[in-house]
Amino acid sequence: MDKFNFLHLVSSIGIFMVLLLALFLITVKTKHRLSNCLLAFFLFANAVDAIKFLTQEFPVNHINLEAFRWTINYLVPASFYLYVLSVCYANFRLKPKHLLHTIPFVAFNLYLMWGIYFVDRTSKINFINGMLDKPLMQFFYFLFELLFQVYFIASFLTIRKSKTVYLENYTNPNISQLNALYKITILYYALHFIVLIRWLVTFIFGWGEVEIRAWIVCIDGFAFLFCTCWYLFVALNKPEFFRGVDADLKPITDVVAKQKNSPLPVEDKNKEIEFLKNFMVEKEPYLDSSLTIQDLSAQVKMPVKDLSTLINLYMDKHFFDFVNEYRIEKAIQILKDPSQKELTVLEILYQVGFNSKSSFNTSFKKYTGKTPTDFRKQA
């Protein structure tokens, strides 16, 4: 088997696997269909980009299709950014304004109409042979790179903001799903530099260096496939992966910035803190494992922004730390109670409002310095 046939086989396997993953995401039954579809399109577009390495010669009999394939790349960064939004925010929906993300794709197609789509075959080939020297084509290359950087930086910022809001407003301290999304964003961003190397080879040596470019795309393709499989494996093994936060919630620093001209008086602040503490002890809302700051806000009849400011700013605690302290105190009472010694640690953690053993052990050790099992032995 010569090098080209080997690369052809490797590329075919990689493209097939990515398309299979995309098909799975579209067809699998889930309540997170929008997220799946956006990720599937992102995978599909990347597979389409790699198709050119399945042929040794330029597809002169299908020039229009080949040119249209180039334009799909202008939807790739935007589709990943929209996917990140759909994962980070539970109430994210596609709206007409999101069509603005297709403007570069439409603009490039309009440019190709003049140079390729609606001209004769000879003109098409002449345009392609000289397009690296055309200022407008160079502009579109630069535009793609700019879009990639902007969308992925925006993705990083969205994940970071979502993580901050999550910690300030939700009681489950397990943010591994956001961490996984952050890691895959970093990996895809890093893999883009392999694409840049491919472009650099093209600009230096021209389109004739098919073999070098083919090896580069194989490395890129299999790295992309490996990263994608890892990410989907993490997602499928965590049913809560796509939980997301409320898009209307803002980081506490943004809320405080808007309220800085009317700070809460110290006396009123202390009264509200005391009321909140008494409510937590008497009503025990923390026993609800799905408790959010919106739920607690409704119970104490206090606006969400005010409650978030009170806990995160004036009490200097994340919401999940604030709530989990009461859960740990309740667990300590149970562990010390001789009449409840038959209860297992797993039964106790569910009883006090936790929904995973790892979260309970982490919070318990953070609060007491001991594991629940060690604490029970020494009680």
86 and 206: one domain?
yes
173 and 265: one domain?
no
How far apart are the C-alpha atoms of 329 and 317, rounded to whole Å? 16
User: Among the three residues 236, 265, 284, which one is the final residue of a domain in this structure?
Assistant: 236
Query: Would the CA dihedral through 327, 329, 325, 282 be positive or negative?
Result: positive
Instruction: Dump pLDDT digits (tens) for 242-284.
Output: 455 555 555 655 555 445 444 556 677 888 899 999 999 999 9
302 and 184: one domain?
no
How far apart are the C-alpha atoms of 168 and 31, rounded to whole Å? 25
Domain limits for position 32: 3-236
Number of helices and strands (H, E) in the chain?
17, 0
Q: Is residue 243 part of a domain?
A: no
187 and 270: one domain?
no
Q: Is residue 200 part of a domain?
A: yes
Please name the residues in contact with 146: beta carbons below 8 A apart, sequence gap of 6 or more. Answer: none
User: Among the three residues 316, 333, 368, which one is the final residue of a domain in this structure?
Assistant: 316
**pLDDT for res 105:** 96
40 and 98: one domain?
yes
pLDDT tens string, the chain, 379 residues long: the values are 555 566 677 777 778 888 888 888 888 777 778 888 999 999 999 888 877 767 656 677 788 998 999 999 999 999 999 999 998 887 889 999 999 999 999 999 999 998 899 999 889 988 988 887 889 998 998 899 899 999 999 999 999 888 877 777 776 645 667 788 888 899 888 888 777 776 666 666 555 555 666 666 667 667 777 888 887 777 666 655 545 555 555 565 555 544 544 455 667 788 889 999 999 999 999 998 888 888 899 999 998 888 888 888 888 888 888 998 999 999 999 999 888 888 898 999 999 998 878 778 888 988 888 889 888 888 6
Instruction: Dump pLDDT digits (tens) for 110-123.
Output: 999 988 999 998 89
Q: Which of these, 315, 314, 280, lies nearest to 300 by C-alpha position?
A: 280
70, 75, 76, 78: CA torsion to nearest 10: 160
How far apart are the C-alpha atoms of 52 and 69, rounded to whole Å? 9
**pLDDT for res 262:** 47
Kindly state the tokens that stand for 186: 């970093």
Catalogue the long-range contacts made by 115-120 (C-beta closer than 8 Å, 24 or more residues apart): 116/63, 116/64, 116/67, 117/64, 117/67
Tokens 């956006």 belong to: 38
Q: Is residue 145 part of a domain?
A: yes
Tokens 């700019």 belong to: 146
Q: Which amino acid is at 369?
A: G
13 and 106: one domain?
yes
Is the Cβ–Cβ distance between 80 and 151 less than 8 Å? yes
Q: How many domains does the chain have?
A: 3
356 and 229: one domain?
no
